[in-house]
Amino acid sequence: MTGAARRPAETPAAPLARQAAEQAARTSYGRLLALLASRSRDIAAAEDALAEALAAALATWPERGVPDNPDAWLLTAARRNLGHARARGATASAGAETMAMLQDERDSTAPMPLGDARLQLLFVCAHPAIDAGVQAPLMLQTVLGLDAARIAASFLVAPATMSQRLVRAKTRIRDAGIAFAIPAPDQLAPRRAAVLAAIYAAYGTAHDDVPAVAEAQGLAGEAIWLARLLGELMPDDPEALGLLALMLFCEARRPARRDAAGGFVPLLAQDARRWDAAMLAEAEALLRAAARFRTPGRFQIEAAIQSLHTETVLTGTANPGPLLALYDLLLATAPSTGARVGRAVALAALDVAAALADLDALAARCTGYQPWWAARAHVLRRAGDTAGARDAARTAAGLASDPAVRNWLLAASQE
Amino acid sequence: MEYTLLFLETPAEMARGETADAPAYWGAWTAYMGAMAAAGVMRGGNALMPPATATTLRITDGKWAVEDGPFADTKEQLGGYVIIDVPDLDAALEWAARAPCATAGSVEIRPVMPNPPGP
């Protein structure tokens, strides 16, 4: 990972020890942070304590050697820092409870069992009391330790705004006393859906004609890492498998999305030989494993749509009927503007007039929505309205932030 | 809320507007402006003539200095600006990211001062 943020400033440490410290940061950051914050619910204090411990590791490991259990070493050091910080903050007015917890923190020198509290941490990040827009950033920061500036860029938000939102969310978790716990069975389904949606938001939009911001920022890998983690922590959840499958389908096609000259290549024109075959196979296997639970959901359906697109390119045979059926299922399960636009494009292969009517019905809310304009250009072209298709393609180009996509749409606006 | 997007371009990017690449260059800008108009966010704006056409005036201690060219030799030059009306900075950033010069220069986003302080 390039983003083990909160990483202390470079010291002239022995490379091996630094590697060990960085390795610990990469694989254990979220696990350690979850343990440190679970009792006090104070994520910001836990982050500071962990950052201090990582700095100490970089300073001492080169001299004294890497400890046998780096994680336990870091946890002990961080817990000590946390205790000291509380002692500094505790005043005469501190309640007995605080003092007891303080003593507790200082006394606990025995290595604590390294249970995995990351799932609880993910549930905290996606708690309904936390603003939906900051849930994914919060996950990237607390589980992976990414810094606010890098997260801000990938979500196209000003760095100061992102920092502020993250601080506010952490304060809310602490002050509202949001529990580090797996939700009760009656709340589990909606809470799990929120965790999945936040991880998907970290990946960015998966629409093939709109390259994800995350992709441009190199955060796609981090989001997939989160999805894998979730799959390991909740192996019996078909939607967790579906989400990972969906992300892998999109990721596998990334190499084929640009031609040799850097030009944009839409999905159906892609050279399948440039897809990542191993990743596609894994995605297909995940989708099959999810299907065995016989509980369809939004991410499984979206992954199935991507699987069908893949097959269409590989066989050269379009499957408009099954594609439309999947979109209908998706709209019944998780209605969204994006899904409606996708359905209209699928429908255009069967009934272009009906597809156009569906798009028209969405017009009022889609004036600045790039996929709608791109879809409109496609459907109008099919309908034989060349002038209308050109205009729509031009507007879609104006809404594109990726130069390759913009150029491709501009070319379409002149065809 | 109103924001001004200041479009800053590298000299190389700006030069595209007067070469064989001109149709692609202007096509991208026309599409961008058209999309802002279609979305109903545009309040005004202009493209500016190239920096070489600029004249800079400076008065120091009563002495007038009139120079050919822009104020300073910077890496990026102002190519134009728009004023947009959007809910917040996030939305302004989204529009800025769509500017053709975002990948060949930069876009500066400044809130428009609602009521300039009076005397």
Helices (DSSP H) in A316-369: which residue ranges? 320-333, 337-348, 352-362
CB contacts, 8 Å: A398 with chain B: 30-36, 38, 98
pLDDT value at position A94?
A: 55
**What residues form DSSP beta bridges with B58?**
B65
Q: Per the structure block, which two tokens stand in for A214?
A: 């995350």
**Interface contact A395-B27, CB threshold 8 A:** no
**Any idea which of A17-31, A158-172, B39-53 has the lowest mean pLDDT?**
A17-31
Facing residue for A368 by CB, picked from B39, B89, B97: B39
pLDDT value at position A92?
A: 46
* Mean pLDDT for the stretch of residues A93-111: 54
Cβ–Cβ < 8 Å for A50, A73: no
User: pLDDT exceeding 70 applies to what percent of chain A?
Assistant: 86
* Mean pLDDT for the stretch of residues A268-275: 94
Calculate how close chain A gets to B60, using CA atoms only, in Å. Answer: 37
Does the pLDDT at position A105 exceed 70? no
Q: Where are the domains of chain B?
A: 2-111
Look up the CATH number of domain B2-111: 3.30.70.1060
- Evaluate the CA torsion angle B33, B37, B43, B44 in order and state its sign: positive
Instruction: Look at residues A180, A109, A98, A185 and name the one whose alpha carbon lies nearest to residue A142.
Output: A180
The identity of residue A262, as a single letter, is G
| Residue A209: pLDDT band with limits 50, 70, 90 | very low
Task: Return all residues near A357 (Cβ < 8 A) that are at least 6 apart.
Answer: none
CB contacts, 8 Å: A399 with chain B: 35, 39, 98
Q: What is the SS3 assignment for A335?
A: coil
CA dihedral A380, A383, A386, A392 (to 10 degrees): 0
B103 touches chain A (CB under 8 A): yes
Q: Considering chain A, what is the average pLDDT of its residues?
A: 85
* Mean pLDDT for the stretch of residues A227-253: 91
Does the pLDDT at position A106 exceed 70? no
ipTM of the complex: 0.86
pLDDT value at position A398?
A: 95
Facing residue for B93 by CB, picked from A156, A396, A413: A156
Q: What is the mean pLDDT of each run of 10 residues along chain B (119 residues)?
A: 96 88 93 95 94 90 88 82 95 94 94 82
Instruction: Report B:14-53 residues touching A (Cβ under 8 A).
Output: 24, 27-28, 30-36, 38-41
Q: How far apart are CA B35 and CA B28, in angstroms?
A: 11
Q: How far apart are CA A47 and CA A44, in angstroms?
A: 5
The identity of residue A279, as a single letter, is M
**Interface contact B30-A401, CB threshold 8 A:** no
Model pLDDT for residues A328-351, shown as the tens digit of each residue: 999 999 999 999 999 999 999 999
Does the pLDDT at position A109 exceed 60? no
A400 touches chain B (CB under 8 A): yes
**What residues form DSSP beta bridges with B60?**
B63
Cβ–Cβ < 8 Å for B89, B18: no
Using CB atoms within 10 Å of the CB of residue A120, give its burial: 0 to 12 exposed, 13 to 18 middle, 19+ buried.
Answer: buried
**What residues form DSSP beta bridges with B66?**
B57
* Mean pLDDT for the stretch of residues A124-149: 90
Does the pLDDT at position A401 exceed 50? yes
Do you know the residue count of chain B? 119
Facing residue for B38 by CB, picked from A395, A400, A410: A395
Does the pLDDT at position A317 exceed 60? yes
B90 touches chain A (CB under 8 A): yes
Q: Per the structure block, which two tokens stand in for A352?
A: 């272009």
A367 touches chain B (CB under 8 A): yes
Distances (CA, A) of A133 to A137, A157, A398, B118: 8, 11, 25, 38
Calculate how close chain A gets to B61, using CA atoms only, in Å. Answer: 40
Q: What is the CA radius of gyration of chain A?
A: 24
A411 touches chain B (CB under 8 A): no
Q: Where are the domains of chain A?
A: 15-106
